[in-house]
Chain A
């Protein structure tokens, strides 16, 4: 089925080629109802319980546009510094697929609601402007379950079962212009763009924007051109890239794969490719000879959308703070150094820290947990940190327990273990796992006495004024107490008793 691709080393790719990127991001809006009908637009319903004649494509049914979806589309457009169309239409994109009820997708073609914008993204402390070509409105498809053959896979399945609950949920597709000149940073730019676009979408409050749940989906276009030529090469479009990490990896992989083909004198086939999260490679999608002929034409069942300039300005007034200015403000508020701020941006945890601080934690504590402890765990699990099952409120609660002396950092890590294992709230985990610090003075005092008795030479050194030696005794006490003691208090007791 798939031949092994020849990959060229990343540095060698850059020596011979300039990469050009293009990103198409689909954002599923969090409206109450679908794009063109009043069915609920929520996840998780029993199959085919959120469908009506319209979203099921029954003969005779007609669409009516959701006002809230238009509003969200305009707000996204404005936040991306786009022009908002004075007049635009929906169009039918005609192609046959069983999960698409009408066998055309109601979308927008040459008249998008928003166009010609940009998003400035911070790539390792450097600003990179990503030009936005358009943001347009469309509807989602149903979901197929493939039965028989390899479980859940489309290949070799006997038949498929289709649930149309998702069909008709509003999507905004945001398309960049070709991003050139990123060079070695192309993978990082792709990741930073998607990550910072997500921050923006969250700040707008128009979508849950969870990549792991498919609220935010990225297609990555990539092409290579001979170095310095300034032209655009033939591109491939990689679909199904469902995490920030994967966006970065997919760009890198395609750069290396394209170079392998080009170096061997081959040419790139313009095609759709699928990203495989498990193996980290892309494979060719099905080639369709008629794929490009979508026979677009204006949707005759809908009338044009012509947002008044007043309504657009009103919506502009509802936009959240500019992310760049906001970052500068947050850095000041939090007292982070430039280096610290760069690290949290690179890790994509600005929003998480903001929420954690809002829930009561100190900025330094929030940074510590998200950047080191939780960042490492997300990495180990191969997840984006935003998809980790720990909320900012929980992090703040754990830190509050540390601040009150009920936990130390070591015990706090065990609380995170419990949170990730779904064992309940931090308080419940502390209780269930017996993690609270022992504050019983009698028990502590006894443990200190025992340690002194067991290490007479160390005790003597401390009596002689070598306070630094106290560490050994504190360690012994902590070990005895299985870590569940406040090390500061232990130190006080040791010094008190040996003064």
Chain B
């Protein structure tokens, strides 16, 4: 097996054993990017020079015996929604084309402090609005399993980069499923931590009360390792939890032993039925059976208010986003467009023209929707009501977690659909996040683990595990147990079944 196909944990071991160097590993990934990213388009910006310099520093630290973390020297890709000092940060939008932040997001600062060379910035739906990366102003990312299909979104770039072995690790962000749903449709692992578990400082906000950054990897253990690097309290984020993280790596290792005795698994009634692809449901049921085999007790739980989650989400998100995106006004940074034929235009006219030219359709849709939801006269009916529905959904979770230690569902209702298929049908697009949204509304952690290929199309499906707030370790334990059982069944990683990409 070539080095780039190994897991991050294995690469860390290879580095420790002197089998390879960070410079070599980084170069191998840069080569892979050069070979396949022309067709995958996972990256918006590749920083070969910077990554190699960081890798050389890592190798020097290793020689001096002064490693910064377990993942020191293992390269990583970062979603383009996190501010990176000296590296372009566009959020997939024309309005930020060429913007180079003068500061690092806390997550990025922690990656640097842990010695992970940053390969580049990954593609995404504009300002993370979407479930397919088709809303990127720089063109869509293609699913490595089938280049005609979407890689999920908004973090399709990070998921595709990891699935296509362009990076062993990546950072994503998840507002309604943007880490987990791309994980599901690309056969990779994605984790949305407990809200407040990973700093949002430097994460260009979509919906502040829902956003969370998290790991995008090929294995559960890799996610745990990365989560421990980026997680924990940050005084620059007022909503950050001032408590130590649970021992996530230990939980993943415990789960990998395959023993889930005494663990109660709740299957959410509302997240199945009409509109759920049979092949996805088959893989889901198979996974549930494997958990039972590992000793888990399975119960069915009902979360009756989950049916309102989508509506609440599409009121809260646009409302917060409409305000967050007001700062993109062509005054201090980003695109400045003068209205045609008006060289003496006022600031306000330039704002209007720039925002029209700089934002894509989906962003405009949601800004208008959010402006409407916050307008006087509608606030109580929309935003206010949506916040109450959040309470109801949190209560559903509380009740469910009395009966079960973790809750499970398919991560997304379908496998990857064709590029363009749902592009101008917002509602159909929004339905992709049906199963992932409740966790964001309630702030609870969730993981998506590959559950195999759907029979009808041979494309990956995902298995979602949700845990109570602050109990992220449960996601890792159950996720690692399922992963171990499935790997045994498949005889190797699911990604081995993916078609080879040209140039590979």
Contacts and interface: CB of A to CB of B under 8 A. Distances in A.
Q: Do A and B bind? A: yes
Given A53-B102, A56-B332, A101-B332, A62 B327 contact: no
A300 B238 contact: no
A31 to B, nearest CB: 17
Interface string A46-57: 000000010011
Contact of A295 (B208, B323, B332, B344): B323
Contacts of A104: 323, 326
Contacts of B204: 59-60
B88 to A, nearest CB: 12
Residue among A92, A296, A297 facing the most chain B CB atoms (10 A cut-off) = A297
B376 interface: yes
Interface in B310-326: 319-320, 322-323, 326
Contacts of A457: none
A58 B99 CA distance: 11
A160 B347 contact: yes
Which of A62, A96, A101, A293 is packed against the most chain B CB atoms within 10 Å? A62
B126 interface: no
Nearest to B96: A59
A302 B238 contact: yes
Contacts of B200: 62, 301
B205 interface: yes
B172 to A, nearest CB: 15
A92 B203 CA distance: 19
A302 B240 CA distance: 10
Interface residues of B, number: 45
Interface string B211-233: 00000000000000000000000
Given A60-B201, A62-B238, A63-B238, A297 B348 contact: no
B201 A162 contact: no
A57 B347 contact: no
Contact of B329 (A61, A103, A297): A103
A102 B238 contact: no
A127 interface: no
Contact of A301 (B83, B208, B235): B208
Contact of A94 (B102, B103, B237, B323): B323
A60 B203 contact: yes
B375 A295 contact: yes
A98 interface: yes
Contacts, number: 104
Contacts of B326: 94, 96, 102-104
B91 A59 contact: yes
B277 interface: no
B235 A94 contact: no
Contact of B371 (A92, A102, A292, A295): A295
A301 B239 contact: yes
B368 interface: no
B331 interface: yes
Contacts of B319: 297
A61 B371 CA distance: 22
Nearest to B84: A60
Nearest to A295: B374
A303 interface: yes
B379 interface: yes
A293 B376 contact: yes
A65 interface: yes
A192 B216 CA distance: 64
A454 interface: no
A293 B373 CA distance: 12
A492 B91 CA distance: 90
A62 B237 contact: yes
Interface in B65-121: 82-83, 89, 91, 96, 99, 101-103, 105
A160 B379 CA distance: 35
A64 B235 contact: yes
B187 interface: no
B293 interface: no
Interface in A210-249: none
B205 A96 contact: no
B417 interface: no
A17 B403 CA distance: 70
A94 B327 contact: no
Nearest to A90: B238
B157 interface: no
Contacts of A102: 326-327
A53 to B, nearest CB: 5
Interface string A99-142: 00111100000000000000000000000000000000000000
A332 B309 CA distance: 69
B242 to A, nearest CB: 11
B338 interface: no
7 contacts: A53-B202, A61-B103, A92-B323, A300-B208, A300-B209, A300-B320, A303-B238
